[in-house]
Each structure stands twice: as C-alpha cells, then as structure tokens.
C-alpha cells in the first residue's frame, strides 16, 4: 500500500473519531448557556418588557379613581358688600359666605367608568405579558442561531484540518510524480473556500451573540459561552389542543378580549351620557346683627342640561359603537392569525422532525458509507485523493445541515410556545445527533 494511502487511512479514522459537535458530551466544557437560562435573564433585563409592565401599573393605578365622582368644590367669600367701601354693613351682607358643591353622575355612569378602566388595566397587563413572550421568542431565535453556528463551526474546523491534510498528501504525490497538479490546485481552492465559510460562520455567530446580548440588555460585546442543547419535544399536540391552549393562555388574545370588554362598557356609558348629572350644594353665611352674629344656611340642587345632545352625546354613542366594532374585529383577526400561525408552525415542525429523522437514520449513515467506500477505492487506486476529499466534505455538509435543522426545529418550538402562551410538554425529547 502506498504511503499516501496509509496517511489518508489514518486521517479518515482520526476524523471519524472526533466527537460530533452536537453529540452528547460534545458541548465544550465550562460555562454554558441554556435555553431556559437565557429567557430567565431577559425577564428582568429587557427594557421593552419593563416599559410594558410600567404601563400596566399605570393603568391599574387609574382604576380606583375611575369609579369616584369629581372632587367637590368649596367657595369662600363675602356677599352683598356695600360700595364703594366693600363693608358688610348692609342688611343682606354675609361675611364670610361658604359654599360647597358636589356633582353626582347618575344612571350607573361611575360603575361603567370603573368597569371600562378595569378592562383597560387588564389589556395593559396582557400587553406586558405578551411583550415577555415576544422577548422570549427573540431570545430563543438568537440562542438557536448560536447553537447552530457553534456546531457548524466545529464541523468546519474539523473539515478544514482534513482538507489541509488532503492538500499535503496531494502535494506529496505530485512531488513524487504519482499525482496531478490539478489535484493540488483543487485542494488549495477547497481549503480557501472552507476558510471563507469559517469567516462567514464566525461572523454570523458574533451577530447572533450581539442580538442575544441586546435582548438581555447587556453590552453587545459581552462574551456568550457555548450553548447547551435543550430538550425539545419529539411530538406536538394536535391543532385543536393547541388552539384551546392559545385561547386560554395567549396574552394577545386576552388583551383583545379585554379591549372588547372595555369598548362595551364605554358604549354603555355613552348611551347614558345624555342623562343629566346632578349637582348638590350647601351654603353657610353669617353677619353681624343687633342681637349679635346672625347665621344663615341654604341648600341647592342643579342638573346639567344636554342642550347639544345631537352633536355631542348622540355622537358619543356613534363613536363608542364604532370602537366596539373595531375591538371585536381586531379580536377576530387575532384569533384568525393565531389559527393560521399554529397550522403553519405545526407543518414546519413536522417537516423538520421528519428531515431530522431522515438525516440521522439514512442520509448521514449513507454519507459515512460513501466515505468508507471512497477510501476503499482509493486504496486500490480506483479513485484519486480529491474524490475521497469530496466524499468527506459531503458528509460534513450533511452534518451541518442537520444542525441547522435542529436549530430551526428549536426556534419553531419557541415560536409555537409564544403563539399559544405556554410551554410545550416534553413527554419524549427529540434526540440530538448520536
């Protein structure tokens, strides 16, 4: 057997002995980032969620006051003073004169206003919860981009080492007169292409790390350790179950329902705005008399007059009815969007799961068999060294594609969890590359 064949046999064996980047135990030692840990860090750090939570707190703070009448007014003065000296020396003079007035909305207006404010607070709280799920999905996308990049970089580095060894063998064979110069040139091109792919993949990893740091509200250049492979569900519940979970747990749908409740309360309130509001008041006054201080009191009752009802109160009814229709239409649109997104994600997950199975059980084993076949053929001189290199690169390319599929599957799981507003149960985890 030629020396070059012995060298290549050892190289292929060494390459096969290297652990796959996604295999159990393949994650580099030291600190690792988990899919659960990244969103947990984002829960308290993300400014967007903090802003939404503050908005929810502000809406909740408005609820108690919404059911209270306007503040009373108190007036203090002097009445019926003589001119020009402004003296309280006339029989009808009162100094001081104190008057208190209170407006009282009737026909249940305060209760409806309180109900509308409560619904608005519910919508704001649901909006804050929705912001958290959106942040969680964005964190998961960045996490899985790093996951795929780390494992693809490991495969590329292994491939680059093998290509470098193939190039040295091709150079040795050409120098000894048993090889072709075209093999050397081809090997040089393959090494350069792989280096370029590594540069691109490392840039993609750096970009994903910067996005993840931004989501965690950290400096963009904060180092991100290797990510640990999460346990992903191998089976997904049926669409009807997912829809039921979404209706019960998706904050966006709760926000839509709260908006409908608020619009209904405001419409009922608008229908009662034409009812006059009562105003009650009491008055106290005193003056100096011949027998000493004379004290007087009085009571008042007033109502508002809807003189401009056609252009004000009746138009308020039209506005409130339109707002209720808009809220109902938005909720229907949200539900339609959730149904469509669930169907699309279930189809994507079924596709990725089947492709992962095919890659693990058929494509990668057949590619490995192709490498062994090419090596056997090379030993007897039936193929050249670059054919062997092509077989090895094909296997490594399929391995990279498998990692990309697993990352796509994980990101789709996270997006489906965001769509339904709850985590999916993992009865049986999807196995990684063995």
Q: What is the number of alpha carbons within 13 Å of residue 373 lying toward its C-beta?
A: 9
pLDDT at 26 over 50: no
* Number of compact structural domains in the chain: 1
Angle, CA 350 vertex, CA 346 and CA 355 arms, to 5°: 150
Strand partners, 429: 233
pLDDT value, residue 124: 94
Least confident range of 89-98, 102-111, 114-123, 192-201: 89-98
Structure-block tokens of residue 255: 């926000």
- Percent of the chain at pLDDT above 70? 87
Q: Which of the four pLDDT bands, split at 50, 70 and 90, describes residue 3?
A: very low
Radius of gyration of the chain from Cα atoms? 38
pLDDT value, residue 40: 55
Q: Which of the four pLDDT bands, split at 50, 70 and 90, describes residue 48?
A: confident
Q: Do the domain assignments include residue 81?
A: no
pLDDT tens figures, 205-254? 999 999 988 888 888 888 888 888 778 898 899 999 999 999 999 999 99
Report the mean per-residue pLDDT for the chain. Answer: 84
Q: Do the domain assignments include residue 283?
A: no
Q: Do the domain assignments include residue 118?
A: yes
Q: Do the domain assignments include residue 18?
A: yes
pLDDT tens figures, 54-97? 999 999 999 999 999 999 999 888 777 778 877 776 777 777 88
Q: Which of the four pLDDT bands, split at 50, 70 and 90, describes residue 21?
A: very low
What CATH number is given to the structural domain containing 155? 1.20.1600.10
Residue in 137, 132, 133, 149 with CA at minimum distance from that of residue 209? 149
Burial of 389 (0-12, 13-18, 19+ CB in 10 A): buried
Burial of 162 (0-12, 13-18, 19+ CB in 10 A): buried
Q: Do the domain assignments include residue 299?
A: no
- Cα 39 to chain centroid, rounded: 10
> How large is the average pLDDT for residues 404-432?
89
Q: Do the domain assignments include residue 425?
A: no
Q: Which of the four pLDDT bands, split at 50, 70 and 90, describes residue 334?
A: very high
Structure-block tokens of residue 78: 């002097």
Q: Do the domain assignments include residue 284?
A: no
Q: Do the domain assignments include residue 170?
A: yes
Strand partners, 287: 294
Q: Write the CB contacts of 362 (distance below 8 Å, at least 6 apart in sequence).
A: none
pLDDT value, residue 1: 38
pLDDT at 279 over 90: yes
HEC string of the chain equals CCHHHHHHHHHHHHHHHCCCCCCCCCCCCCCEECCCHHHHHHHHHCHHHHHHHHHHHHHHHHHHHHCCCCCCEEEEEEECCECCCCECCCCCCEEEEEEEEEEECCCCHHHHHHHHHHHHHHHHHHHHHHHHHHHHHHHHHHHHHHHHHHHHHHHHHHHHHHHHHHHHHHHHHHHCCCCCHHHHHHHHHHHHHHHHHHHHHHHHHHHHHHHHHHHCCCCCCCCCCEECCCCCECCCCCHHHHHHHHHHHCHHHHHHHHHHHHHHHHHHHHHHCCCCCEEEEEEEEEEEECCEEEEEEEEEEEECCCCCCCCCHHHHHHHHHHHHHHHHHHHHHHHHHHHHHHHHHHHHHHHHHHHHHHHHHHHHHHHHHHHHHHHHHHHCCCCCHHHHHHHHHHHHHHHHHHHHHHHHHHHHHHHHHHHHCCCCCCCCECCCCC
* 96 in Cβ contact with 74 (< 8 Å): no
Residues in the chain: 434
Q: What is the domain extent for residue 392?
A: 3-69+105-274+309-420
Q: What is the number of alpha carbons within 13 Å of residue 386 lying toward its C-beta?
A: 16
């Amino acid at each position: 057997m030629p020396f070059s064949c012995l060298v290549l046999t050892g190289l292929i064996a060494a390459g096969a002995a290297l652990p796959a980047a996604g295999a159990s135990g393949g994650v580099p030692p030291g600190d690792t980032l988990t899919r659960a840990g990244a969103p947990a860090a984002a829960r308290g750090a993300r400014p967007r969620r903090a802003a939404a939570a503050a908005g929810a707190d502000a809406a909740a703070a408005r609820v108690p006051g919404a059911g209270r009448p306007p503040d009373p007014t108190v007036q203090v003065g002097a009445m019926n003073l003589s001119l020009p000296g402004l003296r309280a020396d006339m029989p009808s003079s009162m100094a001081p004169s104190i008057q208190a007035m209170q407006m009282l909305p009737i026909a249940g207006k305060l209760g409806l206003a309180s109900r509308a404010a409560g619904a608005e607070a519910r919508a704001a709280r649901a909006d804050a919860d929705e912001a958290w799920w959106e942040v969680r999905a964005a964190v998961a996308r960045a996490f899985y981009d790093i996951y795929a990049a780390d494992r693809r970089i490991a495969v590329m580095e292994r491939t680059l080492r093998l290509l470098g060894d193939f190039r040295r063998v091709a150079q040795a064979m050409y120098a000894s007169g048993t090889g072709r110069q075209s093999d050397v040139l081809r090997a040089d091109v393959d090494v350069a292409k792989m280096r370029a792919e590594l540069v691109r993949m490392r840039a993609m990893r750096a970009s994903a790390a910067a996005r993840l740091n931004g989501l965690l509200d950290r400096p963009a250049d904060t180092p991100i350790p290797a990510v640990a492979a999460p346990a992903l569900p191998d089976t997904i519940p049926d669409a009807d179950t997912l829809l039921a979970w979404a209706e019960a747990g998706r904050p966006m749908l709760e926000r839509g329902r709260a908006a409908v409740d608020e619009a209904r309360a405001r419409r009922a309130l608008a229908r009662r705005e034409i009812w006059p509001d009562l105003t009650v008041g009491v008055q106290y006054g005193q003056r100096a008399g011949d027998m000493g201080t004379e004290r007087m009191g009085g009571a008042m009752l007033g109502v508002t007059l809807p003189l401009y009802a056609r252009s004000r109160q009746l138009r308020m009814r039209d506005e409130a009815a339109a707002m209720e229709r808009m809220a109902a239409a938005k909720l229907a649109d949200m539900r339609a969007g959730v149904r469509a997104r669930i169907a699309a994600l279930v189809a994507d997950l079924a596709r990725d799961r089947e492709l992962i199975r095919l890659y693990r059980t058929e494509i990668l084993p057949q590619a490995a068999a192709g490498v062994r076949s090419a090596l056997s053929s090379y030993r007897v001189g039936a193929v050249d060294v670059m054919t062997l290199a092509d077989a090895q690169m094909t296997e490594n390319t399929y391995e990279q594609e498998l990692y990309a599929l697993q990352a796509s599957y994980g990101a789709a799981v996270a997006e489906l969890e965001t769509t339904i507003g709850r985590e999916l149960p993992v009865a049986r985890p999807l196995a990684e590359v063995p």
